[in-house]
Amino acid sequence: MTSAADPPSAAASHTRRRWWTVFALSAASLIDSMESFTMSILWPHMYPTLGLRVGQLGPVASVSGIVGTVMTPVWGFLADRFSRKWLLVLITGMWGLWTSAIGLVHNFYQLLGVRIASSLGLAALTPTALSLVSDLFGRKERGRAIGVFTAAGFSGSMVSFIVLPMLATRDPEGWGLSFLFIGAAPFDSGGFLLFVKEPPRGSAEPELEDVVSAETAARFEFRLLPRLLRVASWRLLLVNETLDWMGFSTLYTWAFTWLESLKLGMMGTAVIGIQFVGVLVGHVAFGWVGDALDARSPGRGRVTLGTIGLIVNVLACVGFLLTSPYGLLPLLVFGMLTGLTESLKMSGARAPLAQNVMLPELRATGRGTIAMVSGLASALIALLAGWMVTQFNDNVVAMMLILVPIPKALSIVAWLPLYRTYPRDMEALHATLCQQRAEIVATQGRG
């Protein structure tokens, strides 16, 4: 990291390099996330032409979600062990071919098989990228960097939401062209990542920044893996994100089909679009807000911001689902509020909190494990959602009124103990990093 003795030009160059890496990772995230909601966006056009039932989105989303989430800690483990840069270059550039193949399927079993294959590599980006970002930015700036990266991902979802329906409505088979388009895009992101410079693990921590190198960081890899499970705040964040993500995934898996049934036409597009705008703006804005609160109250600033986001988000989701009989304006207002609070609790609180209590050599594994557990839970709730839609005579909103707010409300219960555990776990991490520093300095002194 840059020291106070570095000349201004060196500091400026260092800052540019850090933000170039964030830009490259964000470009990859944008392209990668274009695929995330593709199936949900195109499902209203797909199932009639393939001769499927509307509820069959449930098993497709569930099984492919299970495969993707099981792979997430595998990618996290590899990212903590090997070069994060080359892992991203290889994986993000290759896996789009499977997504393109979805556009060529003709029946349910072909769709299910190709979707499973495409899901294997989709989980590599986020844990690897967040590990890189956390080694480039310390606590004072980590939230804003994570916010920019995450916002780019939702920008890709917005691009998909705008472009894909236009392609799909050109003819009954237009959804296939959409998958071909999305599958070809990841090759471009690999080029950006070639210019990323990978920092040593732990190089953004004040305890290690002036002594760590790639060689010294390597000695700590996985030595303390069992300690990940002993971090109380990490366990709470795992439970919180799992419950919250169950509600989030249910909402955004079925919202497109629900709004299509309301016959809103282009106004339905505006409703989802305003949600995505809220998510995008919120990730950037609340990343900065979270950093500012953390500077004023290191132990509880981010935790309080997350509490506000979680509570308001539950109320906004209920309002969004109940206001369709009252016209377009309430849908737009509650849609915007839903989007803003989704990003508030993520980039403003949850993601930086997780990075701030995990050892640098375990951050990708920790992030991947949380993603795996939350993804598996979301896959199971997708099966339940599909079954409930069938039981409710294809009444999607009745199902969402149960499976969206209830898990989100339960996630608040898992969040509140962070007021006690988070300050304690930060202190424990500081002590461990100081010990690592002492070992490095002692080794250098003997050398």
pLDDT > 90 in the chain, percent: 13
The pLDDT tens digits for 113-148 are 888 887 777 777 788 888 888 888 887 788 888 888
pLDDT at site 210: 66
The pLDDT tens digits for 224-263 are 456 677 889 999 999 999 999 999 888 877 877 777 777 7
Reply yes or no on whether the pLDDT at 420 is more than 90: yes
Buried b (16+ CB within 10 A) or exposed e, 155-182: bbbbbbbeebbebbeeeeebbbebbbbb
Reply yes or no on whether the pLDDT at 218 is more than 60: no
pLDDT at site 86: 82
- Do residues 339 and 275 make contact, with C-beta atoms less than 8 angstroms apart? yes
* Domain-embedded: residue 10: no
DSSP tag of 13:
H
Reply yes or no on whether the pLDDT at 34 is more than 80: no
184-212: average pLDDT:
71
pLDDT > 70 in the chain, percent: 84
* Most confident stretch, 71-80, 297-306, 327-336, 362-371: 297-306
* Domain-embedded: residue 369: yes
Confidence of residue 4 (pLDDT cuts 50, 70, 90): very low
Reply yes or no on whether the pLDDT at 67 is more than 50: yes
- Number of structural domains (the chain) is 1
User: 330 is written with which tokens?
Assistant: 């309430």
* Domain-embedded: residue 317: yes
User: 112 is written with which tokens?
Assistant: 């299910």
pLDDT at site 46: 80
- Do residues 38 and 100 make contact, with C-beta atoms less than 8 angstroms apart? no
* Residue of 64, 37, 60, 129 whose CA lies nearest to 91: 129
Reply yes or no on whether the pLDDT at 202 is more than 60: yes
Reply yes or no on whether the pLDDT at 410 is more than 60: yes
Residue showing tokens 């994100």:
241
340-348: average pLDDT:
87
pLDDT at site 3: 45
* Domain-embedded: residue 11: no
Residue 394 burial (CB count, 10 A): 14
The pLDDT tens digits for 170-180 are 666 677 777 77
The pLDDT tens digits for 81-109 are 778 888 887 777 666 677 777 878 888 88
Kindly report the pTM of this predicted structure.
Answer: 0.72
* Domain-embedded: residue 104: yes
- Residue 194: domain span: 26-440
pLDDT at site 308: 94
Residue 3 burial (CB count, 10 A): 9
Confidence of residue 312 (pLDDT cuts 50, 70, 90): very high
- The CA distance from 74 to 55, in Å, is 31
* Domain-embedded: residue 415: yes
Lowest-pLDDT choice from 92-106, 333-347, 353-367, 375-389: 92-106
CATH classification at residue 208: 1.20.1250.20
Lowest-pLDDT choice from 133-137, 183-187, 282-286: 183-187
pLDDT at site 235: 92
34-41: average pLDDT:
73
* Domain-embedded: residue 19: no
Lowest-pLDDT choice from 53-57, 71-75, 363-367: 53-57
Pinpoint the alpha helices (H) of 82-219.
Answer: 84-94, 96-102, 108-119, 125-136, 139-168, 174-184, 186-193, 214-218
Residues 6+ apart with CB under 8 A from 174: 45, 167, 168
pLDDT at site 313: 94
277-285: average pLDDT:
83
Confidence of residue 5 (pLDDT cuts 50, 70, 90): very low
Residues 6+ apart with CB under 8 A from 96: 35, 182, 183, 184, 185, 186, 187
Residue showing tokens 């294997």:
120
* Domain-embedded: residue 14: no
Confidence of residue 10 (pLDDT cuts 50, 70, 90): very low
Lowest-pLDDT choice from 242-251, 342-351, 356-365, 399-408: 356-365
Q: How far apart are the first and last CA of the chain?
A: 23
Whole-number average pLDDT of the chain: 79
DSSP tag of 361:
G
Reply yes or no on whether the pLDDT at 326 is more than 60: yes
